[in-house]
Structure 1
Amino acid sequence: MTRNPPGPETAGADPVSGLHRLIETQRRLAETASRMAVTRDRDVRLATTPKTEVMRVGDKILYRCDAPPMATGGRPAVLVLYALVGSYAVLDLQPDRSFIGSLVEAGLDVFVVDWGHPNRACQHDDLGDYVEGYLDAFVDAACDASGTDRINLFGLCQGGVLSLCYSALFPDKVRNLITVAAPVDFHADKQDLRPDRGFMNHWARSLEKSDIELLVDTLGNIPGDIGGIAFTLMTPMRSLAKYNLTLIEASQDEGRLLNFLRMEKWLADRPAHPGAAARQWLNDLYRENRLVRGELEMAGEKVDLGRVTMPVLNIYTETDHIIPPAMTRALKHHVGSRDYSEWAAKGGHIGIMVAGGVNRRAMQNKIADWLSARQ
């Protein structure tokens, strides 16, 4: 049996196309190396929105973001909180992808908390210290600076839990509450378990209480690298490919490359999680789900979500692989507010905070309109 010789369309096609791909790959690698060689740290600065320091407690700082010249007095005051386990700089990644900047542009008087980098002296700070100590002091300082008696509180991710607890413990100091991608019911995802989301939930719930105690007692503060590894394992293939395929692709455009490097710079700057707060976070919330059960205690006082009676806007995303939407949307079943609304933003857990273009404007308009209607 004889085979027909390869036709003109197939003969030599694979070697030639393979050679073309190799040449193109080499060209892109050379372009990547060339751009990286001239990129300096000053080119990837984070948190560039102008701001002034209002108050400092140790390494924890309350900033007030400077308003544009056309802004007038009487702007609604908003205090923004991010997670303890990540720098707030992700909310101010670059001018066209700045969550903080979009709030300032919307005409709000924006305050933001930098939780700093905990040292050994911070290992005994629990969630109560952060909420009833540091946060309460920052709320008072922001109210004094803005000339108001109540603050609009804005919490993202773990900062959403802190703002929610504060609103329950100090409802008279909060005018409106906005939460973004905040876990509330830490067991809600059990009703819809999926392999592509909620890895942190599975990992934390698999730990024994004694495991958590040993971890905290041994390390004091939980190093940021441990959290970094856990987040990397949520998307292993993407994490493996980003320093070759993704970086090469991004390097073909200077703007995309700088955006990529800014995100990597933020990811590399992971604060440690204060030991006592980490113990509560892993055991009381992830394992025992005490917040929605009304059993979470701060400074000896139970956090009753029924006392959250101010207007609440709860923002989530259906594609959040870190905090499944069921964990966030559960909030409506536990707060005492008669003015509760929720909104599904486009993007992932971090994506909605660093969105640009249409998604950035949509988030900006939603927040500004919601607050304006309640001022």
Structure 2
Amino acid sequence: MTRPEDKKDSSRQPSSADQYLIKDPELFARNLARMIENAGKAASAWVTPRERGEVRDSMAEPMADMVKTFSKVSEYWLSDPSRALEAQTKLFSSYMTIWANAVRKLSGEEVPSPAEPEKGDKRFQDPDWSTHAFFDFLKQVYIVTTRWANDLVQNAEGLDEHTRHKANFYVRQVSQAISPSNFILTNPELFRETVSSHGENLVKGMQMLAEDIAAGKGELKLRQADYTKFAVGKNIATTPGKVIARSDLAEIIQYDPTTKKVLKRPLLICPPWINKYYILDLNPQKSFIAWAVEQGHTVFVISWVNPDERHGFKDWEAYIDEGLNFALETIEKATGEREVNAIGYCVGGTLLAAALALMAKEGDDRIRSATFFTTQVDFTHAGDLKVFVDEEQVAAVERAMKEKGYLDGTRMATAFNMLRAGDLIWPYVVSNYMRGKDPMPFDLLYWNADSTRMAAANHSFYLRNCYMNNALSQGTMMLAGKKVALHDITIPVFNLAAREDHIAPARSVFAGCSFFGGDVEYVMAGSGHIAGVVNPPAMKKYQYWTGGKPGGDFDGWVATAKENPGSWWPYWQEWIAKQDDTRVPARKPGARGMPVLAEAPGTYVAVRV
């Protein structure tokens, strides 16, 4: 703990040397010993499952792919000695400029910085990154080096698009990992906190690291929030409803009405099976499900099973049959209505689109309108997730899944976190394990950590048919022995993208619009994959763009689109009402002889990895 005599004199400059001097060497040494003890516990939590054969390291193949990718970049630069010398000279010259400026700065001169962080970079906000010569030097060397590495990738000729994409991604990952902001001795704020707390932060940080490795059963399960403050069904996913049907893959939830009259057409929501459906029902203030009920929808939701070895053979046909078709049959029994409006979110939307194409082939017209939330049906511009998808990497994933019949949820969670490592990995590594700070409660990050496994056959079909072969938009996907095509889908489509989406980029969603055979309403929401969708009108946040038919060039559409303030939800409700606004008396779960198997949110959603 900081003693009164250790308190900083407010008149001192932030970069004064005494902030970095240990005041109580004996106490600091004791805390270092405690830190080492906790580090030993962390090492034991890591090693023990491997000695027992319970965990097999999953990083070897990604690391090998990264090395191979960088080797292809190196081939271009090393194939010509003059080219390599030029690149090395450019970096060395930048280092010499930084060194010369540092010397001049130490002598009291005002020297302009040759390298500053990008606007919005939160890592270097502490004043000592600029005022302290040592930390300023580290910052500039880091920035110059990482920009030089990016230039090597961008200027390497002869690389195919996929290799360049992977190289850019891996450079970004390495750059974020080696940032001086991530280490005690090279981060002024961390250094000062360590000195002022006499190393207590390191003791707590190593304790948290050991706990998180133990929680991950030998893998680091990075905590991003205080999860103890949330419980599904208690203060998460609380909209009243009933589970009225259950298959091996899905529970079908019907929600209690809150209006006397409801739309004649029920609303079926098909969420992704990567993570859980309650992202649309986080709490009463953020719940799209509760809001839709308030607008007069009879809402049904598919809650997917968290698969285990029993579900390894369940492919997309099974998910369509035991999920979507099962839900449609349940809705007809529960309401007497054959026609429905359907929503698909992310990969749940991709499944819905594939199912609609199959249903069109089979003459099944039960779904009369389709809404897609941040859904890709064409994967040409699929973003950074394509980095993980080529023949070698998919084959490696398939080998890993073959052993258990599923892919561990932590693998997918790590991949998604890597897409935004600067926001979702390194800030928590620094805060948790170096500063020893407990994360704050945050319902969205609780949901993000509630990862799900991937059934082997299902996940393999998705990777190969969508990301690798782009079979759905190309009309070559085979389902139930039929070749399905999106142009057979002629029902009205509402296609929602999110401007900052890193999973289903807005450009990719826009490109997918052209493959449908009917009218498509394309809307682009502000923010990203989650916040762009979960944006209740009452919050008055963000905006959305509308611009008529989604034809031609994406940038051209954006340039002429109308920006509207707030949530897109009411706009969607108007669109739905235009399809069919007929109202009927409200329907309650359990009517028409339907069983009530459980209270919402059901049992499948409670199964954790």
> Which whole-Å CA distance do the structure 2 matches of 1:37 and 1:210 have between them?
36
1:180 aligns with 2:180: no
1:345 aligns with 2:508: no
Asked if the contact 2:309/2:404 (under 8 Å) is kept, the reply is no
Offset at 1:14? 2.6
Aligned residue in 2 for 1:14:
14
CA RMSD of aligned residues (A): 3.3
> Which whole-Å CA distance do the structure 2 matches of 1:15 and 1:214 have between them?
53
Asked if the contact 1:315/1:344 (under 8 Å) is kept, the reply is yes
Asked if the contact 1:129/1:299 (under 8 Å) is kept, the reply is no
Asked if the contact 2:262/2:298 (under 8 Å) is kept, the reply is no
> Which whole-Å CA distance do the structure 1 matches of 2:347 and 2:327 have between them?
17
> Which whole-Å CA distance do the structure 1 matches of 2:464 and 2:293 have between them?
37
> How has the CA–CA distance of structure 1 residues 167 and 359 changed in structure 2, closer, same or farther, with 3 Å as cutoff?
farther
Aligned residue in 1 for 2:48:
none
Offset at 1:319? 0.8
Give 2:372's aligned amino acid. T
For residues 14-54 of structure 1, what are the alpha-carbon distances to aligned partners after superposition, in whole Å with 9 as ceiling and x for unaligned? 379x79x989x99xx9xxxxxx9996445973211111112
Give 1:163's aligned amino acid. L
> Which whole-Å CA distance do the structure 2 matches of 1:225 and 1:166 have between them?
28
Aligned residue in 1 for 2:75:
none
Offset at 1:245? 5.5
Find the partner of 1:225 among 391, 410, 418: 410
Asked if the contact 1:62/1:111 (under 8 Å) is kept, the reply is yes
Larger radius of gyration between Structure 1 and Structure 2: 2
Return 137-146 or 276-285, whichever deviates more: 137-146
> How has the CA–CA distance of structure 1 residues 94 and 297 changed in structure 2, closer, same or farther, with 3 Å as cutoff?
same
> Which whole-Å CA distance do the structure 2 matches of 1:39 and 1:99 have between them?
24
Aligned residue in 1 for 2:483:
302
Offset at 1:181? 0.6
> How has the CA–CA distance of structure 1 residues 208 and 11 changed in structure 2, closer, same or farther, with 3 Å as cutoff?
closer
Give 2:371's aligned amino acid. I
Give the total of aligned pairs: 340
> Which whole-Å CA distance do the structure 2 matches of 1:53 and 1:133 have between them?
15
> Which whole-Å CA distance do the structure 2 matches of 1:267 and 1:39 have between them?
14
1:266 aligns with 2:471: no
> How has the CA–CA distance of structure 1 residues 307 and 359 changed in structure 2, closer, same or farther, with 3 Å as cutoff?
farther
> How has the CA–CA distance of structure 1 residues 305 and 243 changed in structure 2, closer, same or farther, with 3 Å as cutoff?
same
Taking structure 1 as the reference length, the TM-score comes to 0.81
Aligned residue in 1 for 2:273:
84
Sequence identity percentage: 24
Give 1:267's aligned amino acid. N
> How has the CA–CA distance of structure 1 residues 159 and 38 changed in structure 2, closer, same or farther, with 3 Å as cutoff?
closer
Aligned residue in 2 for 1:3:
none
> Which whole-Å CA distance do the structure 1 matches of 2:470 and 2:231 have between them?
43
1:358 aligns with 2:543: no
Aligned residue in 2 for 1:6:
none
Structure 2 counterpart SS, 1:53: strand
Aligned positions of 1:51-200 closer than 5 A: 51-58=241-248, 60-68=250-258, 70-171=259-360, 172-189=365-382, 198-200=383-385
Offset at 1:145? 1.9
Asked if the contact 2:267/2:340 (under 8 Å) is kept, the reply is yes
Asked if the contact 2:525/2:533 (under 8 Å) is kept, the reply is no
> How has the CA–CA distance of structure 1 residues 224 and 39 changed in structure 2, closer, same or farther, with 3 Å as cutoff?
closer
Asked if the contact 2:266/2:299 (under 8 Å) is kept, the reply is yes
1:49 aligns with 2:221: no
Offset at 1:359? 4.4
Aligned residue in 2 for 1:192:
none
Offset at 1:105? 2.1
Give 1:366's aligned amino acid. Y
Structure 1 counterpart SS, 2:319: helix
> Which whole-Å CA distance do the structure 2 matches of 1:219 and 1:39 have between them?
30
> Which whole-Å CA distance do the structure 1 matches of 2:348 and 2:408 have between them?
19
Offset at 1:166? 1.7
Structure 2 counterpart SS, 1:264: helix
> How has the CA–CA distance of structure 1 residues 292 and 87 changed in structure 2, closer, same or farther, with 3 Å as cutoff?
same
Asked if the contact 2:270/2:324 (under 8 Å) is kept, the reply is no
Aligned residue in 1 for 2:507:
326
> Which whole-Å CA distance do the structure 1 matches of 2:231 and 2:370 have between them?
36
For residues 343-369 of structure 1, what are the alpha-carbon distances to aligned partners after superposition, in whole Å with 9 as ceiling and x for unaligned? 011120111233241249623202210
For residues 224-281 of structure 1, what are the alpha-carbon distances to aligned partners after superposition, in whole Å with 9 as ceiling and x for unaligned? 11101101111112122147669xxxx99xxx954x1x22321222111111011111
- In structure 1, list runs of 5 or more residues that go unmatched: 1-9, 30-35, 190-197
Find the partner of 1:241 among 418, 427, 431: 427
> How has the CA–CA distance of structure 1 residues 118 and 11 changed in structure 2, closer, same or farther, with 3 Å as cutoff?
closer
Asked if the contact 1:186/1:285 (under 8 Å) is kept, the reply is yes
Asked if the contact 1:60/1:114 (under 8 Å) is kept, the reply is yes
- In structure 2, list runs of 5 or more residues that go unmatched: 1-9, 21-188, 202-224, 543-565, 581-609
Structure 2 counterpart SS, 1:45: coil
> How has the CA–CA distance of structure 1 residues 178 and 202 changed in structure 2, closer, same or farther, with 3 Å as cutoff?
same
> How has the CA–CA distance of structure 1 residues 132 and 38 changed in structure 2, closer, same or farther, with 3 Å as cutoff?
closer
Asked if the contact 1:178/1:314 (under 8 Å) is kept, the reply is yes
Taking structure 2 as the reference length, the TM-score comes to 0.51
Aligned residue in 1 for 2:181:
none
Bigger RCO (CA 8 Å, 6+ sep)? 1
Give 1:131's aligned amino acid. I
